[in-house]
């Protein structure tokens, strides 16, 4: 008895759902309601009552369940006239090719299929409604069926047209226009600078910043954010005669909508694949983030015949690249003490794929930076590899896990136990102990890999030699014997004698490299060269007064003082004497003579990877012609040599300063001419 009643109720519920869906469709999709709103509400209320009494009858797609997300009192939920579907993604050429084959099979032809690609903007999908040519409402995508009405905020975005231009040539009475709201990177950076200046926490990425800006309750705040939009499609468009997506984009553009200029038309799938790869590299040139390309079958007739599966159109795909950001757990914050005694905190991360490589460590710079970003051990954090290669921890995915606490530098050096100091106004904490093992070890590593660049002895070997107590100083490295080296893990008869030979050969490195390798504070590559050029030998330098040192290019009172102080230390003087006796070079050769050539006075900067030269080779070739090669683009830069996968910051700066760009062919031309 009871069961048959339940069955009746179940049938009625299903009937109501079907009717409600049908009337919603009549109303929203076709704009031709068959019943009044009051009648609709009566049906709806009946279903709600049934579902309240029999919760087991509630289905996920019930019209009553469309308010899925937690209710917000800020924004009204609105239903989209046509649902905003999501795109199935592909990540490989093979998957793309497979999709193409499916398209051909379903259309029964491989002829005449045209694709359109557009950058896939990492922003917020928005649906805009125009009635009789006037903007009346805009909503976020939400769950695809209902979104949040953010009309007042959208009105503040100047890139959104408030009316359809050229309405006289037959604009549909109801027009649904889809687009992606985003925050340009320049605006994102400016916003974060402002937030930091106001003592607030910066936003982790442009997408979050855009979302936050658009969901401001107070639209005057939204108005201050430089949001923009790319329009990429049509929803409802009754009576509009366009036959394909490409034509639709053109129509939109002509009627006042901001469509992306990098939309491309492709006659073959191979051409589509090519675009997907080309844009993966070109994307950093854009002032907004894209995470792939959207690919659509152009013809609306084809689109209709292909249809959709589970709300995902068969006629479109998102080609997505490996993400440049990822979320992972920050397991521990470690401290490393550098060759100058600076304490460097670094993050040990749960390994995670970012931009195609597995990242497990990242530098955290200093205490201040960690706390400004509010990063804690145990947090879930966002890791990013942006235009550059080096991963950074952007910030925590709030809230903090239980039991975490703000990061604090240790009071004592983790290696030697001496009390840590932090000079007023400086960012870095330091271990002041000159005899701290970290300094000796790190400076030896710096010697073998940078200053002298000894082949066959790398960081690992130096660490092992140090641990075994065989080499604890530079002179000890030069007194190392083959027999001793063979005790070290990883060395055999041959590799040991080769390594000894390279150590011996490294005694010939030029004076300026020796100076660099001594680890004098404030003396890097350039200053070492300038010192060598100015004083010519160690005898003049070692006893030079601070005022004499100030004469050198790029050295002012601060640096001169620290250099003079270093040379007045007995231990350092002894080290110099010992190295000299061992046969290292302490006077200038002819390697620093300036080269006169056709490019004298010109300054070039190189970015990206060149095909026929390494960066060092290209730099050497330019220098051989008299040019200087710098590291950063400035107003004085003659030209920026751009290879494959260039760094974004140099490129951006060069554009801004109108520094000429040279490709590899132009470089070769320059070197010949």
Tell me the closest approach of the beta carbon of residue 65 to DNA, in angstroms.
44
Nearer to DNA, 520 or 584 (CB): 520
Per-residue tokens: 638: 């003659």
Tell me the closest approach of the beta carbon of residue 528 to DNA, in angstroms.
6
Q: Which of residues 82, 648, 661, 671 is near DNA by CB under 7 A?
A: 648
By three-state DSSP, how is residue 477 classified? helix
DSSP assignment letter at 298 = S
Binding piece for DNA, criterion CB under 7 A, among 207-215, 484-492, 496-504, 547-555 = 547-555
Between CA 46 and CA 602 the distance in angstroms is 81
Tell me the closest approach of the beta carbon of residue 575 to DNA, in angstroms.
17
Q: Do residues 78 and 137 make contact, with C-beta atoms less than 8 angstroms apart?
A: yes
Between CA 542 and CA 564 the distance in angstroms is 8
Nearer to DNA, 68 or 557 (CB): 557
- Note whether 338 binds DNA by CB under 7 A: yes
Q: Which of residues 33, 152, 184, 387 is near DNA by CB under 7 A?
A: 387
- Note whether 361 binds DNA by CB under 7 A: yes
Between CA 263 and CA 266 the distance in angstroms is 10
Site for DNA in 607-646 (CB under 7 A): 607, 630-632, 634-636, 646
Nearer to DNA, 473 or 648 (CB): 648
Site for DNA in 128-187 (CB under 7 A): none
DSSP assignment letter at 299 = B
Cα 604 versus chain centre, distance: 26
Nearer to DNA, 9 or 195 (CB): 195
Tell me the closest approach of the beta carbon of residue 534 to DNA, in angstroms.
12
Nearer to DNA, 250 or 327 (CB): 327
Nearer to DNA, 58 or 603 (CB): 603
Nearer to DNA, 112 or 557 (CB): 557
Between CA 253 and CA 166 the distance in angstroms is 11
Q: Which of residues 357, 401, 406, 468 is near DNA by CB under 7 A?
A: 357
Give me the sign of the Cα torsion angle 653, 656, 659, 664. positive
Between CA 633 and CA 653 the distance in angstroms is 7
- Note whether 365 binds DNA by CB under 7 A: yes
Provide the 10 A C-beta neighbour count for residue 568: 12
Q: Do residues 32 and 77 make contact, with C-beta atoms less than 8 angstroms apart?
A: no
Is 653 marked active-site?
Answer: no
Burial of residue 257 (CB within 10 Å: 0-12, 13-18, 19+) is: buried
- Note whether 196 binds DNA by CB under 7 A: no
Between CA 569 and CA 576 the distance in angstroms is 11
Tell me the closest approach of the beta carbon of residue 527 to DNA, in angstroms.
3
Site for DNA in 390-419 (CB under 7 A): 390-391
- Note whether 514 binds DNA by CB under 7 A: no
By three-state DSSP, how is residue 469 classified? coil
Binding piece for DNA, criterion CB under 7 A, among 13-21, 247-255, 321-329, 519-527 = 519-527
- Note whether 333 binds DNA by CB under 7 A: no
- Note whether 649 binds DNA by CB under 7 A: yes
Q: Is the peptide bond before 399 cis (omega within 30 degrees of 0)?
A: yes
Tell me the closest approach of the beta carbon of residue 360 to DNA, in angstroms.
4
Tell me the closest approach of the beta carbon of residue 280 to DNA, in angstroms.
17
Binding piece for DNA, criterion CB under 7 A, among 44-52, 152-160, 244-252, 389-397 = 389-397
Q: Which of residues 146, 317, 512, 559 is near DNA by CB under 7 A?
A: 559
Nearer to DNA, 524 or 583 (CB): 524
Quickly list H helices, 74-167: 93-107, 151-155
Closest CA to 331 of 366, 381, 399, 385: 381
- Note whether 525 binds DNA by CB under 7 A: yes
What residues form DSSP beta bridges with 125? 180
* Per-position b or e across 35-48, b if 16+ CB within 10 A of its CB: eeeeebeebbeebe
547 phi/psi in degrees, rounded to 5:
-65, -35
Between CA 568 and CA 562 the distance in angstroms is 10
- Note whether 523 binds DNA by CB under 7 A: yes
Q: Which of residues 359, 420, 465, 564 is near DNA by CB under 7 A?
A: 359
- Note whether 455 binds DNA by CB under 7 A: no
- Note whether 389 binds DNA by CB under 7 A: yes
Residues in the chain: 673
- Note whether 560 binds DNA by CB under 7 A: yes
Q: Do residues 192 and 202 make contact, with C-beta atoms less than 8 angstroms apart?
A: yes
Provide the 10 A C-beta neighbour count for residue 120: 23
Tell me the closest approach of the beta carbon of residue 408 to DNA, in angstroms.
18
Nearer to DNA, 465 or 555 (CB): 555
- Note whether 647 binds DNA by CB under 7 A: yes
- Note whether 369 binds DNA by CB under 7 A: yes
- Note whether 558 binds DNA by CB under 7 A: yes
Site for DNA in 578-607 (CB under 7 A): 603, 607
Tell me the closest approach of the beta carbon of residue 304 to DNA, in angstroms.
45
Non-local (6+) Cβ contacts of 116 within 8 A are 244, 245, 246, 249, 263, 264, 265, 266, 295, 296, 298
Tell me the closest approach of the beta carbon of residue 63 to DNA, in angstroms.
49
Nearer to DNA, 263 or 451 (CB): 451
- Note whether 528 binds DNA by CB under 7 A: yes
Binding piece for DNA, criterion CB under 7 A, among 42-50, 286-294, 384-392, 478-486 = 384-392
Q: Do residues 353 and 322 make contact, with C-beta atoms less than 8 angstroms apart?
A: yes
Non-local (6+) Cβ contacts of 86 within 8 A are 144, 311, 312
Quickly list H helices, 425-523: 437-446, 459-467, 474-479, 482-485, 493-505, 511-517
| Element containing residue 571 per DSSP (H, E) | helix 570-581
Q: Which of 74, 77, 105, 120 is catalytic?
A: 120
Tell me the closest approach of the beta carbon of residue 670 to DNA, in angstroms.
19
Supply the Cα-derived Rg of the chain in whole angstroms: 33
Nearer to DNA, 558 or 669 (CB): 558
Q: Which of residues 501, 526, 620, 624 is near DNA by CB under 7 A?
A: 526
The residues of the shown chain that bind DNA, judged by CB under 7 A, are: 336, 338-340, 342, 344, 346, 357-363, 365, 369, 386-391, 425-427, 442, 521-528, 553-560, 603, 607, 630-632, 634-636, 646-650
Show which residues are catalytic. 120
């Amino acid at each position: 008895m009871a069961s048959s009643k339940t069955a009746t109720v179940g049938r009625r519920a299903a009937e109501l759902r079907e009717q409600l869906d049908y009337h919603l469709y009549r109303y929203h999709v076709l704009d031709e309601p068959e019943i009044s709103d009051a009648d609709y509400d009566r049906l709806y209320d009946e279903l709600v009552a049934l579902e309240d009494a029999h919760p087991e009858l509630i289905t996920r797609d019930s019209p009553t369940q469309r308010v899925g997300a937690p209710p917000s009192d800020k924004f009204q939920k609105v239903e989209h006239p046509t649902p905003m579907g999501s795109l199935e993604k592909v990540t490989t050429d093979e998957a793309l090719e497979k999709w193409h084959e499916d398209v051909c099979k379903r259309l029964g032809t491989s002829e005449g299929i045209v694709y359109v690609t557009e950058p896939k903007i990492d922003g917020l999908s928005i649906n805009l409604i125009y009635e009789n040519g006037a903007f009346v409402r805009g909503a976020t995508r939400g769950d695809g069926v209902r979104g949040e009405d953010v009309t007042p905020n959208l009105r503040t975005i100047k890139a959104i047209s408030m009316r359809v231009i050229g309405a006289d040539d037959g604009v549909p009475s109801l027009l649904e226009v889809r687009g992606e709201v985003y925050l340009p990177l320049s605006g994102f950076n400016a916003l974060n600078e402002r937030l930091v200046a106001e003592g607030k926490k910066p936003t982790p990425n442009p997408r979050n910043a855009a979302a936050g800006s658009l969901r401001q309750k107070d639209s005057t705040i939204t108005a201050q954010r430089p949001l923009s939009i790319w329009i990429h499609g049509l929803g409802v468009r009754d009576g509009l005669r366009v036959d394909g997506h490409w034509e639709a984009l053109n129509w939109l553009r002509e009627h006042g909508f901001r469509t992306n200029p990098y939309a491309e038309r492709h006659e073959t799938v191979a051409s589509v694949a090519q675009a997907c790869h080309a844009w993966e590299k070109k994307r950093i040139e854009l002032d907004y983030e894209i995470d792939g390309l959207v690919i659509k079958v152009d013809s609306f007739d084809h689109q209709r015949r292909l249809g959709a599966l589970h709300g995902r159109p068969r006629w479109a795909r998102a080609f997505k690249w490996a993400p440049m950001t990822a979320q992972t757990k920050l397991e521990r914050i470690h401290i490393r003490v550098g060759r100058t005694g600076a304490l460097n905190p670094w993050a040990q991360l749960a390994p995670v794929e970012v931009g195609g490589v597995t990242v497990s460590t990242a530098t955290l710079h200093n205490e201040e930076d960690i706390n400004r970003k509010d990063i804690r051990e145990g947090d879930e954090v966002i890791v990013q590899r942006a235009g550059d290669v080096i991963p950074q921890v952007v910030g925590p995915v709030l809230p903090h896990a239980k039991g975490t606490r703000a990061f604090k530098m240790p009071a004592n050096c983790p290696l030697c136990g001496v009390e840590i100091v932090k000079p007023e106004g400086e960012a870095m904490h330091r271990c002041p102990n000159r005899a701290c093992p970290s300094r000796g070890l790190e400076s030896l590593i710096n010697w073998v890999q940078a200053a002298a660049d000894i082949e066959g002895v790398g960081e690992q070997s130096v660490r092992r030699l140090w641990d075994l107590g065989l080499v604890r100083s530079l002179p000890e490295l030069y007194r190392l014997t083959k027999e001793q080296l063979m005790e070290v893990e990883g060395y055999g008869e041959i590799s040991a004698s080769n390594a000894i030979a390279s150590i011996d050969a490294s005694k010939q490195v030029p004076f300026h490299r020796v100076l660099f390798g001594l680890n004098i504070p404030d003396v890097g590559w350039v200053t070492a060269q300038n010192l060598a050029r100015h004083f010519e030998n160690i005898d003049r330098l070692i006893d030079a007064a601070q005022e004499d040192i100030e004469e050198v290019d790029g050295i002012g009172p601060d640096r001169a003082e620290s250099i003079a102080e270093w040379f007045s230390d007995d231990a350092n003087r002894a080290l110099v004497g010992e190295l000299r006796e061992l046969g290292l070079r302490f006077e200038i050769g002819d390697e620093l003579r300036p080269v006169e050539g056709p490019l004298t006075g010109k300054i070039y900067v190189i970015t990206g990877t060149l095909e026929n030269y390494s960066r060092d080779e290209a730099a050497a070739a330019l220098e051989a012609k008299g040019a200087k090669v710098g590291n950063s683009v400035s107003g004085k830069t003659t030209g920026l040599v751009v290879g494959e996968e260039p760094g974004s910051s140099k490129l951006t700066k060069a554009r801004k300063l109108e520094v000429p760009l040279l490709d590899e062919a132009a470089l070769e031309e320059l070197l010949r001419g």
